[in-house]
Structure 1
Amino acid sequence: MTSIRELAMHLQISIGTVSRALNGKPDVNPVTRERVIAAAHELGYAPNQTGRALRRGATQTIGIMIETSSAVERNGDDFFLPVVDAAQTQLARHAYDLVILPCSSSDDVCSFLSRVVGRGIVDAIILADIRRQDPRIELLSKKGIPFLTLGRSGVSSNHAWIDLDFEGFVEHSLAELVALGHRRIAITLPQSDVNLGEMLYATYQSFLTRHQLSYDPALVMRVEQNENGGSQAVAALMALDDRPTALLLSYEAIAMGVYSELREAGLVVGQDLSVIGFRHNPQLRFLSPGLTAYEIPLAALGQALADGILAVLRGEPGPTLIWPGTLHATASIGPPPKP
């Protein structure tokens, strides 16, 4: 690999001039700058990023903070890995790296984030698992740390964010079920205070009101976001005198417990109970019938997160973007059973 000294010798100009030209300094003659850039490409020169980082007080590293949980650990998660992989690929094109900052479920999120910021190990942060009232947003804003959130909070803020279309999931799913003839439709929600749960609930209530459907609090179940949560949900629904004919799942892994419990009860998914999950998950391909869910382009989402945080780092307005999905309907939904 060509060094900056070798590049300067090739061009017969000083190292300082080469450095200023490569860094876009205004005091370099435009013709000289073009000569330097062309020669750098020709000779395969790559700047020493470590040295640059030390001089600039930067790390060339972006952190993504993810809260670990026993639910994810038990079931695995194929959401973040594709997103992180695509984000890293895009960041690498700009000489940045992405590191995962896993906050233990037993740790205080603000204490953890304060430690990360205090150590200066990243230039900017992507926050996930956004709460309705998320103190991390205020913490980073006050400290002047560039950040972007994967998710929205319930507090008005001018920060950059990208979020999945949770409202669209509920609206579209309920509309599909109502068109099939369903009137009593249940929904699962997270037990934690993540904001997506509040968005799902608010949209569910709003849809029922606008379509003059009765609201029954017994059909709103806050359960674990895993297979066990699915078992809990079906047990609660089976105990009702007036059972629902359809169920929306806030997390696709819940479907494993739902399918298992219904099978044990001698009931058929799509016939006795229609089921829709939020996101299509290849890990659930063994379910029969396959789960009706939304295809979400995760690689493109990861690239968008990378582009967004780079824009914030440059001091440009970051994105405020709803990330859509496309419904993939299967035999897990159908008309309600006849009385």
Structure 2
Amino acid sequence: MKGIKRLAQHLDISIGTVSRALNGKPDVNEETRKRVLDAAAKLGYAPNQAGRSLRRGTTNAIGFMIETNEETEANSDNFFLGVIAGLTGALLRHNLDLVVLPCSVNEDPHDYLQRIVARRLVDAVIISATQREDRRIDLLKAAHVPFIALGRTGGPDEHAWIDLDFEGVAHEAVARLVARGHKQIAVAIPDTDINLGYVFRDAFIDALARHGLTVDPSFIIRARSSEHGGYTIGNAILAMEDRPTAVVLVYEMMAIGLYRRLNEAGLTPGQDLAIVGFREGPQSQFLSPALTCFRMSLRDLGIGLAEGLLATMPDYADLYPAGPMHKLWPMELVEGESDGMVIDR
């Protein structure tokens, strides 16, 4: 209390206002909150977080559960780093910390999260890599833990979620390829039960149907969501007697492996096989010919996740729109040369 009293005297504001500002309460305006936080840093004030958490029964920490394995670590990109940057910035406004919860692909995500919930390590959770049937949803609901999902499941999804606009990507990619005369179009999706693979496959089939085309089952290629997976996709296409003339990818690192396999076979992306990649990643920007793919703001996605989660937490619900957030995150086309191959009609 002495530290708070000193801060209040220094700023000439009430002890209650200082306390509410330090605790991220919504009834303190941003200018006052900033003055308090700046003064606390200048005067070397560090609140006893452990004592505060015990009194309030909270941790002031948000958990972000992500899936990890040796392959994704070796072929890492900036996706989660970009999202985390947006998350931490948005949570900082409320004096909340972000804790990354890495779950090994060799462990059941439900069991991992169950341990986290039982130990009360965080006040709320962001889950990712949602499955078609994701038991973590029922776990969090039963435990009354606020949460938001990065990704949809195959169910009604009445909880808060944000997902990338896979449907929009699939339809725009197919429309571009059809306009260039392609009728034999393949799609590459993850070889796991992650729901985005089903969403993208269904959207791809629907997009073909809108142009009067049907999907060849052999053109639905399942592979790892990695550079190695892209190399495998190249092998699968090269082994086909009746090859597709174009392929749409659902993961950014796949393009790197596919380019490599085509180059080894003496083929050129955009000339011998039209390619539409997924998200523009750091590595894909150096591919030649330039990859046609889609762009998005990872930082803004992180901010959206933070705000969607805060809306589910009683202490912050008044600051954000009522009701669980259901949002498809838009992605913008980046025109390259990898889909420049034109087929005579």
Counterparts of 1:81-96 in structure 2, within 5 Å, are: 81-96=81-96
- Tell me what 1:281 maps to: 281
Task: Supply the distance in 2 between the matched residues of 1:260 and 1:250 (Cα, whole angstroms).
Answer: 17
1:85: how far off? 1.6
1:76: how far off? 1.2
Return closer, same or farther for 1:48/1:246 CA change in 2, 3 Å cut-off.
Answer: same
The secondary structure found in structure 1 opposite 2:286 is: coil
Task: Supply the distance in 2 between the matched residues of 1:196 and 1:12 (Cα, whole angstroms).
Answer: 53
Q: Which runs of 5+ in 2 are unaligned?
A: 22-27
Identity across the alignment (%): 42
Preserved contact between residue 90 and residue 307 of structure 1 (Cα < 8 Å) = yes
- Tell me what 1:243 maps to: 243
Give CA-to-partner distance per residue, 1:122-176, whole Å, 9 cap, x none: 0000000001100000110111000000011111132101111111110010011
Q: Out of 320, 326, 329, which is 2:332 matched to?
A: 326
1:205: how far off? 1.3
Preserved contact between residue 60 and residue 123 of structure 2 (Cα < 8 Å) = yes
RMSD of equivalent CA atoms? 2.8
- Tell me what 1:229 maps to: 229
Preserved contact between residue 292 and residue 328 of structure 1 (Cα < 8 Å) = yes
Task: Supply the distance in 2 between the matched residues of 1:223 and 1:7 (Cα, whole angstroms).
Answer: 57
Rg larger in structure: 1
Task: Supply the distance in 2 between the matched residues of 1:212 and 1:287 (Cα, whole angstroms).
Answer: 32
How many residues get paired?
Answer: 325
User: Letter of the aligned partner of 1:168 in structure 2?
Assistant: G
The secondary structure found in structure 2 opposite 1:98 is: strand
Preserved contact between residue 2 and residue 44 of structure 1 (Cα < 8 Å) = no
Q: Which runs of 5+ in 1 are unaligned?
A: 25-32
Preserved contact between residue 131 and residue 153 of structure 1 (Cα < 8 Å) = yes
The secondary structure found in structure 1 opposite 2:95 is: coil
1:23: how far off? 4.6
User: Greater shift after overlay, 125-134 or 51-60?
Assistant: 51-60
- Tell me what 2:47 maps to: 48
User: Letter of the aligned partner of 1:270 in structure 2?
Assistant: G
- Tell me what 1:162 maps to: 162
The secondary structure found in structure 2 opposite 1:102 is: strand
Counterparts of 1:294-313 in structure 2, within 5 Å, are: 294-313=294-313
- Tell me what 2:25 maps to: none
Task: Supply the distance in 1 between the matched residues of 2:94 and 2:66 (Cα, whole angstroms).
Answer: 23
User: Letter of the aligned partner of 1:317 in structure 2?
Assistant: G
Residue 335 in 1 paired to residue 330 in 2?
no
Return closer, same or farther for 1:335/1:5 CA change in 2, 3 Å cut-off.
Answer: closer
Task: Supply the distance in 1 between the matched residues of 2:243 and 2:202 (Cα, whole angstroms).
Answer: 22
Residue 5 in 1 paired to residue 5 in 2?
yes
Return closer, same or farther for 1:10/1:71 CA change in 2, 3 Å cut-off.
Answer: closer
Preserved contact between residue 234 and residue 261 of structure 2 (Cα < 8 Å) = yes
